Amino acid sequence: MLFTQDLDLDVPGTELLVDTQHNLDVAHDGSDIILLPRPTACEGDPLNWSRWKKYWHLLLISIYACVFSFGENNTGDAYTTIVEMTGSTMTIMNGGGALNYLLLGLVNIFWIPAAMKIGRRFCFLATLLLCIGSSLWMGAFHTAGEWFGSNILNGLGTSAYEAVIQLVVFDLFFDHQRGRILGVYIFAQQLGSIIGLVAGGYISDGPGWRWAQWVVSIAEGILIVAFFFTFEETLFPRFLFTSSHTLPTNKATTLGQSDAAPEDDAATTEGKGPVIADNASFEEGAAMYTPEPSQFPRRTYREKLRLWIYYPQDHTSYWTYFKRPFFLLGFPNIVIAGVIFAFGCTSGIVTNNTISETLSAPPYNFTDGQTGLVYISALVGSVIGYFTSVLGDKIVIYLARRNDGIKEPEMRLWALVPCFFYAGLGYEIYGWGAETGSHWVTVAVGIGSMIAQQVAATSTATAYAMECFPGVGGEIVVILAISSSFINFTISETTQPFLNAVGMGYLFLFYGICVVLSLVAGMAVYIWGKKWRRRCAPRYYEFLAERGGNI
């Protein structure tokens, strides 16, 4: 798209990110970057939390994603062993996994409304309880019915790591940090997969594959204690304070010092905190009710231990939150971001479904443990993907500076360019390498390249979608999760018969083409994305009005 230097106030997502003239009295990151969303003067605002507190919560949700992903993948390279011991079949095993993948996204139509109405903390604790039960059951199954049942329960629990985590990231961090932070979360998720596949194989060779799931239940038990005592609710009624389509004036106030001081990289005045835009000092036409900062003070420790929170100022009902994501299917930017996100998640699923069958057979004849070790290459791919997502943040800031400080969400899509190469190479190297019996290093390189594309593409698609329409993040992550759920359920369910029919080479040629085409769709968003955002603006502002505020 051609970026212009006019700030179109009627277009959601078009915002002033860089104070090129250095004359705006708003919170900066210590240089010329404006903090978006604008932090309020409330001590209870998560954006004002100290750096260590933010990163502690990031660590918790990253471990949460890592443990859940570990549980999802630590039996994948032992499928052939499980089939022999239980009398099951590869079709049944992959069918249970496919059902789990379907629920991973679909169940978020229930979890996200709960997260928006009563908080993220409740969802994390509830899902951990569900997953403890599913891990114990999965480790003890003997029949196909038990396998499917445990996967259903597991899908109900693990679904939150597909969507609720993103809400916490957007609660705690600013626009120019989100690509990097989402990369951290997705890296942790991939790390869990890698550890699961590596350790799961050796657990299967040692104490047995059942212990692979029982270890997960122990880890989840430790994690639920950590969440209960140290995770503070991040849901905050930001929509009461800010407007998504107005510019700040030069008037400013200063946030008083508290032990919940803002991040260290925020600009400060005499050590008292960041300079915060006066919530009443927006351009004419932005008048709205603004609560007193004292209405949202820092919580006491006892208040932090509450299982849920409720803000009566949020006029949106649970039912409205439940049905509203489906209206976003009329927003092309969100739909295409969902497709990119969904096919970005494909690599982990198709490799998990095929790696055991491929490497346990001639010419490789690998044990479960050796099969898992091949996945160390995915760790390298995850690191490459993480730094690609960090590059997205840098590109946005660079292009915004060249655009008179104005940020367009489409600027982030440049980070998808390396993904074309990651996907194009990875799927073909893995598929044809396995088909022709090439050296196992070839298979490993293919896995690493596919995972690099997964980490980079999913973090970029998520950040882009959320930046397009601020304030409806819960609805957006539901669309992303459901898109991934349906597409990857279909892929997982059909992988085995497809593989039996055409072989690994053509199977992964087809998957690679699908992934590359999803990235090509990103080019359409780059060209027409702003036009689509402008067209969807009226309905978007209706969403905000239903909730009782702007963002």
Task: Please answer whether residues 547 and 239 qualify as being in contact, where contact means their C-beta atoms are separated by less than 8 angstroms.
Answer: yes
Report helix, strand or coil for 396. helix
Q: What pLDDT score does 118 carry?
A: 96
Specify if 382 maps to a domain: yes
Report helix, strand or coil for 107. coil
Q: What pLDDT score does 8 carry?
A: 64
Specify if 69 maps to a domain: yes
Any idea how long the chain is?
A: 551
Task: Please answer whether residues 418 and 205 qualify as being in contact, where contact means their C-beta atoms are separated by less than 8 angstroms.
Answer: no
HEC string of 15-30 equals EECECCCCCCCCCECC
Q: Which tokens sit at 59? A: 């660590």
- What is the domain extent for residue 93? 48-238+318-547
Distance of CA 354 to the CA centre of its chain: 25
Task: Please answer whether residues 173 and 463 qualify as being in contact, where contact means their C-beta atoms are separated by less than 8 angstroms.
Answer: no
- Residue 31 has φ and ψ, to the nearest 5°, of -130, -120
Low-confidence ranges of the chain (pLDDT < 70): 1-9, 22-30, 76-77, 242-290, 547-551
Specify if 297 maps to a domain: no
Specify if 12 maps to a domain: no
Per-residue pLDDT reduced to its tens digit, 180-221 = 999 999 999 989 988 887 888 788 888 888 898 999 999 999
Specify if 447 maps to a domain: yes
Q: Which helix (H) or strand (E) holds 155?
A: helix 144-158
Specify if 2 maps to a domain: no
Number of domains in the chain: 1
Q: What pLDDT score does 267 carry?
A: 35
- Residue 26 has φ and ψ, to the nearest 5°, of -130, 170
Q: What pLDDT score does 27 carry?
A: 61
Q: Which helix (H) or strand (E) holds 120?
A: helix 120-138
Q: 203: number of CA atoms within 13 Å, CB side?
A: 25
Query: Cα(437)–Cα(432) distance, rounded to whole angstroms?
Result: 8
- Residue 15 has φ and ψ, to the nearest 5°, of -140, 160
Residue 33 carries which DSSP code?
A: B
Specify if 8 maps to a domain: no
Going by C-beta distance under 8 Å and a sequence separation of 6 or more, which residues neighbour residue 491? 346, 349, 350, 511
**Helices within 23-119 (DSSP H only):** 51-73, 79-86, 90-106, 108-118
Q: Could you identify the residue written with the tokens 């949460």?
A: 64
Task: Please answer whether residues 353 and 492 qualify as being in contact, where contact means their C-beta atoms are separated by less than 8 angstroms.
Answer: yes
Burial class of 273 by CB neighbour count within 10 A (0 to 12, 13 to 18, 19+): buried
Q: Which helix (H) or strand (E) holds 254?
A: strand 252-254
Query: Cα(391)–Cα(387) distance, rounded to whole angstroms?
Result: 6
Specify if 414 maps to a domain: yes
Per-residue pLDDT reduced to its tens digit, 377-390 = 999 999 999 999 99
CATH of residue 150: 1.20.1250.20
